[in-house]
Amino acid sequence: MTQILPSRYLFGPGPTNPYPEATAALGYPLLGHLDPDFLQRLDNTCEGLRQAWGTANARTLPLSGTGSLGMEAAFVNTVTHGDVAVIAVNGLFGERMCDVAARCGATVIRVDHDFGQPIDPERVAAAHPNPKVIAAVHAETSTGVLSDIKTLGTLKGDALLIVDAVTSIGGSELRADDWGIDVGYAGTQKCLGVAPGLAPFTISDHAFDRRIEKPQSWYLDLGLLGGYLGDTGGGRTYHHTAPVAMVASLEAALDRILAEGLENAWQRHRSAGLQLQSGLQSMGLELFAAEGYRLPQLTTVNVPEGVDSAKVRQYLLRNFDLEIGGGVGKYAATVWRIGLMGPNASNSSVTLILGALEAAIKNAS
Amino acid sequence: MTQILPSRYLFGPGPTNPYPEATAALGYPLLGHLDPDFLQRLDNTCEGLRQAWGTANARTLPLSGTGSLGMEAAFVNTVTHGDVAVIAVNGLFGERMCDVAARCGATVIRVDHDFGQPIDPERVAAAHPNPKVIAAVHAETSTGVLSDIKTLGTLKGDALLIVDAVTSIGGSELRADDWGIDVGYAGTQKCLGVAPGLAPFTISDHAFDRRIEKPQSWYLDLGLLGGYLGDTGGGRTYHHTAPVAMVASLEAALDRILAEGLENAWQRHRSAGLQLQSGLQSMGLELFAAEGYRLPQLTTVNVPEGVDSAKVRQYLLRNFDLEIGGGVGKYAATVWRIGLMGPNASNSSVTLILGALEAAIKNAS
């Protein structure tokens, strides 16, 4: 029986189409999680992640779950009952942080911003005199907005700065150490160009020293995970079985990105995104995110009056095998999200999506 | 540059070498996690898992992490501060359950057994008059022992029965509904023959109704996850980005296993394991697990006096590209663990490992 496999241009908010090297590596012969060759692969992956994060943190690793598990790891290891967490909210993922932190027992001080606007570092930093953590999303996947983490880092005081870099890593300038990020988490399925399933994670020594010693999650306990990474000096001790195929895939993508040059990859995302945004505006469409804070890798655009968002997306899927995203929450039907990430940050993707979207708006409404 | 990829016979406690169909599916064109074709793939995967579990539970799904995350999901959704958890311990994974349950706030009643022995259902059931949950490991990966879950199910009373089926699923008889399993979790990297990265999970309606409404983990909150599975009737709502490549791989392996016939797959594991155990005994080696309770898919064997366990394992890796496992905890250097799981449950694997082990014992000591 011949199997017909559906194929897609993944131009939504993620997952993106992976780099071909990342797909090939998924099929490499599988290695055990304690095999010396695998541990070398893991070390190389962690080193690649350090570069992608812009950090020298020894504790930089891919956690064994998706980006949202990375968020959980960030909070579960840093806050517990009685700790104050100041959280900047300018989209769905800031909201999710509040939920996650509250489940850890933290007292959450939520600093709301209009969706589509960046966070205001001054207002966030002023929200509480002495929080244990301050948290913000670098690139809000729900709204397409880039926020100024660097400034927030200068204002954080004694707080640990937790940053969501799910959509920025590999696609936008990200300098964890220079910006004062203490704990960062990300995903693989956006600008790193890998299938979803791992959460690149980094934590500074300073934050590790101030961590919750026995967090409520065993799976995400960074003290235990450290034994597997070998940071205790001795041999590697088993914690849980690492997702070895996904790690091989992430390693291959990082090798590819670093061969291109990280800043070149940022520039490629920027160039494709600006071209897309300019093309959309030329078609008479309005962008949703505030000017000056638009993510190039994820563009949000208002659905024009009289156009049925879902019909257009269905038309794109049926006629072009092309996925874009709807909006989130109250913007579900009024905003589209168009991602050009990883290998899709290219001229040809821009040309394809502009042409396809024009046809879809014309024919599907 | 030609890359030389290390290749291994994975005859340890897992991961095993995957079924070829599972490896091929990792490279399928990636689909978005809300793509109708992916949701169909996910539904098919959940249906295959229902068969592997022997359950009609609607809430049967692959969780987005490895088997240990499945363990965490089981406890985090069923116990909280003040709840009593009776946990049968006859190996490392029973011990891990105690740690995980305690971090959820449960009062843990630990029922210890000698390592290498099965659990005693009567003693476990008598440990507390009215626990919220009783938990046990079906196939202890650390000791190679199969326990009688069916009898425990008849004795559980009002407690919810949580079962670790990480190493049994796909390789040993497993009948969740017939045996009264309320919550079960497993892994993909053992007898299902898929790379590690997903935790097959099942929960009965009855257990779901008695769940913790707002568990301490957002990522594992079964109430929220249900929205993505569509169990609330309406459309599918986004919770987190599913690891779509791993799901495709699991679907392909399940299709393969169900085409072979689940009971045939159990029989194949049984046959290979018995052959191996008989061959090892013919070589004069002693098995570690108690007779009558030996897992065929994972054989534990005592390292002979005067033989250096690590040297033998290194010899196997270097000369045969073949991995077996050491023991766990105090048995680290005195027990080997040999797994024949998934595609490796075959005559040729038995012949290879017996020949290679004989050479290694002779030459590496």
B352 and B238 assigned to the same domain? no
Asked if residue A125 is part of any domain, the answer here is: yes
What per-residue confidence (pLDDT) applies to B65? 97
**DSSP of B134-196:** EEEESEETTTTEE--HHHHHHH-TTSEEEEE-TTTTTTS---HHHHT-SEEE--SSSTT---S
A233 — pLDDT class (breaks 50, 70, 90): low
Residue-wise pLDDT tens digits, A171-212: 999 999 999 999 999 999 999 999 999 999 999 999 999 999
Contact B218 A103 (CB under 8 A): yes
Q: Do B167 and B197 share a domain, yes or no?
A: yes
Percentage of chain A with pLDDT > 90? Answer: 95
- A294 and A255 within one domain: no
Alpha-carbon distance B154 to nearest alpha carbon in chain A (angstroms): 30
For residue A334, the domain's CATH number is: 3.90.1150.10
Give me the percent of chain B exceeding a pLDDT of 70: 98
Q: Are residues B208 and B271 in the same domain?
A: no
Choose, out of B3, B81, B96, B219, the residue to mutate when testing the contact with A (most A CBs < 10 Å). Answer: B219
Number of domains in chain B: 2
The answer, yes or no, to whether residue A231 has pLDDT greater than 90, is: no
pLDDT of residue B227: 85
| Cβ-Cβ contacts under 8 Å, B31 against chain A | 6, 8, 10
Direct distance between the N- and C-terminal alpha carbons of chain B, in angstroms, rounded to an integer: 38
Q: Does residue B215 share a domain with residue B116?
A: yes
Yes or no, beta carbons of B6 and A31 under 8 Å apart = yes
- Spell out the residues 6+ positions from residue A173 whose beta carbon is closer than 8 angstroms to its own: A266
- Asked if the structure places residue A319 within a domain, the reply is yes
Which residue type does B263 have?
E
Encode A302-314: b = buried (16+ Cβ within 10 Å), e = exposed: bbeeebebeebbe
Which positions in chain A touch B187 (Cβ < 8 Å)?
241
Tell me what percent of the residues of chain B surpass a pLDDT of 90.
95
Q: Given this model, what pLDDT does residue A227 score? A: 84
Residue B4 in domain? no
State the pLDDT at residue A234: 57
B119 and B51 together in one domain: yes
> Is the pLDDT confidence value at A3 over 90?
no
Distance (Å, rounded) from C-alpha B192 to C-alpha B246? Answer: 13
Q: Among candidates A210, A205, A168, which has minimal Cα distance to A185?
A: A168
* Interface probe with A: pick from B26, B185, B236, B314, most Cβ of A within 10 Å: B26
pLDDT bin (cut points 50, 70, 90) of residue B31 is very high
Q: Which are the contacts of A207, defined by CB distance < 8 A and separation ≥ 6?
A: A78, A160, A182, A183
Q: Are residues B136 and B39 in the same domain?
A: yes
Are residues A186 and A79 located together in one domain of the fold?
Answer: yes
Task: Tell me the per-residue pLDDT of A57-86, one tens digit each, with 9 for 90 and over.
Answer: 999 999 999 999 999 999 999 999 999 999
Q: CB-CB: which of A12, A36, A243 is closest to B196?
A: A243
List, for residues B212-230, the tens digit of each pLDDT value.
999 999 999 999 998 888 7
Cα A80 to chain centroid distance, Å, stands at: 24
Would you place residue B365 in the very low, low, confident or very high pLDDT band (cuts 50, 70, 90)?
confident
Packing angle of the helix pair A36-53, A244-260 (nearest 10 deg): 50
Q: Closest CB to A28: pick one of B5, B10, B69.
A: B5
From A253's Cα to the closest Cα of chain B, the distance in A is: 14
- The region, left, alpha or beta by phi > 0 then psi within -120 to 50, assigned to residue B14 is left
Q: In one letter, which amino acid is B243?
A: P
- Please give the Cα distance from B348 to B311 (Å, whole number): 24
Contact pairs from chain A to chain B, CB under 8 Å? 176
Q: Using a CB-CB distance cutoff of 8 angstroms, which residues of chain B are in contact with residue A72?
A: 217-219
Per-residue pLDDT averaged across A85-90, rounded? Answer: 98
Beta strands B145-146 and B183-185 are unpaired
Does residue A196 form part of some domain? yes
Q: Which residues of A touch B18 (CB under 8 A)?
A: 30
Looking at residue A35, its pLDDT comes to 95
Nearest CA in chain B to A37: B6
Residue A321 pLDDT > 90: yes
* B80 has pLDDT over 60: yes
Tally of CB atoms within 10 A around B278 = 12
pLDDT the model gives residue A232: 55
The verdict on B226 and B343 lying in the same domain is no
Question: Same domain for B68 and B139?
Answer: yes
Does one domain contain both A246 and A338?
Answer: no
Nearest to B246 among A23, A99, A197 (CB): A197
Query: Would residue A1 count as lying in a domain?
Result: no
Is residue B6's pLDDT more than 80?
yes
Inter-chain CB proximity B68 and A15 less than 8 Å:
no
The answer to whether residue B92 sits within a structural domain is yes
ipTM of the complex: 0.96
| Residue A118 pLDDT exceeds 90 | yes
Domain boundary among A227, A259, A291: A259
Give mean pLDDT, residues B188-200.
98
Average model confidence (pLDDT) across chain B:
96
Which pLDDT band, with edges at 50, 70 and 90, does B231 fall under?
low
Same domain, B192 and B224: yes
**Closest-CA residue of chain B to A71:** B219
**Cβ contacts of B337 on chain A, cutoff 8 Å:** none
For residues B113 and B290, what is the distance between their CA atoms, to the nearest angstrom? 12
pLDDT value for B199: 98
Q: Taking the model in full, what pTM does it have?
A: 0.97
A104/B65 Cβ within 8 A: no
Predicted confidence (pLDDT) per residue in B242-293, tens digit: 999 999 999 999 999 999 999 999 999 999 999 999 999 999 999 999 999 9
Q: Bigger pLDDT: B238 or A91?
A: A91
Confidence band for B197, pLDDT divided at 50, 70 and 90: very high
Rounded average pLDDT over A263-287: 98
**Would you state the pLDDT for residue B232?**
55
**Residue B1 counted as domain residue:** no
Structural domain harbouring A286: 9-15+262-364
* Alpha carbon distance B253, A94 (integer Å): 37
Nearest-neighbour CA in chain A from B293: distance (Å): 25
- Judged by CB atoms closer than 8 Å, whether chains meet at A65 and B64 is answered as yes
Q: Give the distance from residue B253's alpha carbon to the nearest chain A alpha carbon, in angstroms.
A: 14
CA distance A17 to A346: 12
* pLDDT at residue number A226: 86
- The percent of residues above 70 in pLDDT, for chain A, comes to 98
pLDDT band at B2 (very low <50, low <70, confident <90, very high): low
- Using the 3D structure, point to which of B213, B231, B259 is the last residue of a domain: B259
**What is the C-alpha to C-alpha distance for residues B15 and B18, in angstroms, rounded to an integer?**
8
B-chain residue closest to A197, CA distance: B243
Residue contact A243–B66, C-beta within 8 A: yes
Copy the structure tokens of residue B74. Answer: 């089981």
- The pLDDT tens digits for A95-104 are 999 999 999 9
- How far apart, in whole angstroms, are the C-alpha atoms of residue B239 and residue B25? 24
Last residue of a domain, one of A216, A242, A259: A259
Contacts of A26 in chain B (CB under 8 A): 23, 26-27, 245
Residue B2 domain-assigned? no
CATH code of the domain containing A106: 3.40.640.10
Query: Which residue from B24, B240, B317 is facing A68, i.e. has the nearest CB?
Result: B240
Q: Do B15 and A32 touch (CB under 8 A)?
A: yes
The CA distance from A194 to B26, in Å, is 12
